[in-house]
Amino acid sequence: MRSFSQLNPIVITIYFVAILGIVMFCLNPIILSISLVGAVALNLIITGFKDGRSHMHLIVLFVILSIINPFVSHNGVTVLFVMNNKPITLEALIYGIASGVMVVSVIYMFRTFSEIMTSDKLLYIFGGISPKLALILSMALRYVPLFYRQEGKVSNTQKALGIYKEDNVVDNFKGRLRIFSVMATWALENGIITADSMSARGYGVGKRSLFSNFRFYMDDVIFLVLCVLLSGFTIVGIIDIEFDFYPAIKMSELTMRGLIGYISYGGLVSLPIIIEVKEILKWKYLRSRI
């Protein structure tokens, strides 16, 4: 079987829709934990450790989301302490942690999706349905890495010129504000240039044609069948499992059907990881034989 990123774009999209649909509408801690571990592992396999700062940003986001809920919501029966005559409860803290795990998991999944789904893959999926929507999506995903690279260039240039220093809070804030202003101007100018270039090349004149090299192969069918089956088993298995945060943390008794649901979701999350690890090991083995 080919690597996960080389599968048919429709299969990859269906997989992410299935896994995101489950995690976004389920606050079950076991499902959330499985999704977080799987999302982080797959993202590290696909993208590597090339952007450690973004991982730190997500850790900070998780901490903020976890601790902010107890100070906003005061429901729950287990009071940890009282601040300004308002109780800080364990149930609210656990709910905040669960929400943080869900948000971070979804962000990691979208990051992996944007890394895998290049502009030609998006055009392949949406080109026949709505060419304009496909073009907008591909351009939006293209501008994300471009924006990050340009931001790094502007930041390094200003540091080299000695305009601001990171060890000074005031200078750092002014420098970041200046960088944001520069980037906003750059994005607007780049958008105008892109629009003029497309107009000069005749975009929108006449009927568009679409060429694609993507085809369905047997491994695409196998992966799609496994994805649908595991998603179905997961939904059927966990649909009756109740987990209440308020007023007290309570989860319904684990049944065999619920256990099958958890195992199915773990298998669904692990599918691309297993494929990618297999391809990496195969590649290393073939290189060792040279």
Q: Where are the domains of the chain?
A: 4-149+215-288
Which has the closest alpha carbon to 216: 207, 225, 228, 203? 225
Q: Where are the alpha helices (DSSP H) in the chain?
A: 9-24, 29-47, 52-72, 90-116, 119-126, 131-160, 169-200, 218-238, 256-288
Task: Report pLDDT digits (tens) over 91-121.
Answer: 888 888 888 899 999 999 988 888 888 777 8
Span 196-204, mean pLDDT? 74
Mean pLDDT of 236-247: 81
DSSP state of 89: E
Query: How many Cβ atoms sit within 10 Å of the Cβ of residue 210?
Result: 10
Work out the pLDDT band at 207, boundaries 50, 70, 90: low
pLDDT recorded at residue 158? 78
- pLDDT tens string 11-46: 999 999 999 888 888 888 888 999 999 999 998 888
* Residue 205 pLDDT greater than 70, yes or no: no
Task: Report the share of the chain in percent with pLDDT over 90.
Answer: 16
Euclidean distance between CA atoms 230 and 223, whole angstroms: 11
Query: Alpha carbon of 195 to those of 29, 75, 133, 146, 191: distances in Å?
Result: 46, 52, 15, 17, 6
What torsion, rounded to 10 degrees, do the Cα atoms 126, 129, 132, 138 define? 0
Q: What is the pLDDT of residue 227?
A: 92
